[in-house]
Structure formats: structure tokens, C-alpha cells
Amino acid sequence: MKAVDVFAVLFSYGLGCLTTGYYLVRWTAGQDIRRLNSGSVGARNVGRVLGQWGYWTTLTADILRGALAVAAVRWLGASTTALALSVSAVAAGHIFPVQLAFHGGKGIAVAFGALLVWDYRIAGVWVFSFAVLYLFSRRYMFSGILSIPLIVLSSAAFGHPPVIWISLMFLTGLILTAHRRNIAELFHTASGRREEGSKQ
């Protein structure tokens, strides 16, 4: 990789580390959002502490942060591979911010903003698949988790080369890792329902 590519990826990670939710709650409420409710620095947890304005402020800023990272990398003239890696890097910074002892958010809004600028079609497929799943299941977390792998599948469908698929596999891996507790809860709930069904 060229020097500009390395800088682009590091810049994206650094921008991702500037987690909106943590600093918003710290500055307005004097609290550490990581010690409240779910412990996430994302918009949903911020909304539980600060209300709707905190939720929308965090969500908007996180999306814009992801979009800014990719737009800046594109402006720098980095390679196609570095551009794809910047999508993963800004999400990695949000999920594992170095200055917060690698305890951040879950990366959904930041990744969406980054994908929106990088390839809006993939972002569109992601949102559409989530909406369809939610329409039929009415389960927010279930729909969100099941729609994540479509990021990689849609990149292949839209003709991106294998190196891009690998980069986006890393992105989906990061997001799923951040949601590991939610995934465990979904499995636990499904297991409980099967046991109840077998007893009836």
C-alpha cells in the first residue's frame, strides 16, 4: 500500500474513535455513557439518558462521521482497496476507540454513513432488507442482525472485486462482534421458545 493509503486507513480509524455519544453525555450530563444501561455509546443508549434530542443528535453525527471518513479518503486519492478499508476502519474506531479503552458502540450508524458515500446501493440494500425483515418479524434487533451479512453479498452482486468482499467481511465481522450479546440473547430466546413448544 502507498503512504496515502496507510494514512487514509489510520485517519478513518481516528475519526471513528471520536464517538459522539460518549462526549455528548459527558459534556451535557457529566456521566460516562459506558456505565449506563447497555453500556454502548450509540444513539439508542444515549437516547435512554438524554431523550430524543440526544438520540437524533448522536445518530446524525455518527452517520455524518462515517460519511466524512470515506469522502475525505476519496478526496485524498487513495486506492480502491484503501477506500473500502476506510469503511471498516471508521467502524472499527467507533466500536473499539483506543482512548476509551476499546469500549465503544456497535457501529451501525457509522458503517451506514460510510457505505452511503462509498456505494449507496449497498447502503440501500442494507436498509431495505432490514425494513422487510422488520415488517414481517416486528423484532428490531433480529432484523438488524440478519440484514448485516447482506453488505457482503450485495457488494458481490454489484460487481465489486473479491478484495472488496474481504474488506466488507471484516466490517460485518466487527459489527457482529459488537452485537455478540444481542446475538446470544436471540439464541437464548429462540431456545426458550422451542422448549416451551415441546412441552405443549
Tell me which of 14 and 198 has the higher pLDDT.
Answer: 14
**What's the rounded Cα separation, in Å, for the pair 57 and 105?**
15
Under 8 Å CB-to-CB from 171, ≥6 apart: which residues?
Answer: 87, 88, 91, 111, 151
Q: Would you say residue 193 has pLDDT above 70?
A: no
Asked if 195 contacts 164 with a C-beta cutoff of 8 angstroms, the reply is no
Q: Would you say residue 116 has pLDDT above 90?
A: yes
Angle between helices 120-137 and 108-118 (to 10 degrees): 140
Q: Would you say residue 190 has pLDDT above 60?
A: no
**pTM of the predicted structure, to 2 decimals:** 0.86
SS3 of 47-65: HHHHCHHHHHHHHHHHHHH
pLDDT band of residue 189 (cuts 50, 70, 90) is low
Q: What's the pLDDT at 186?
A: 72
Average pLDDT (162-176) is 89
**What's the rounded Cα separation, in Å, for the pair 119 and 67?**
11
Give the domain range for residue 194.
Answer: 3-199
Q: Would you say residue 191 has pLDDT above 80?
A: no
Number of structural domains found in the chain = 1
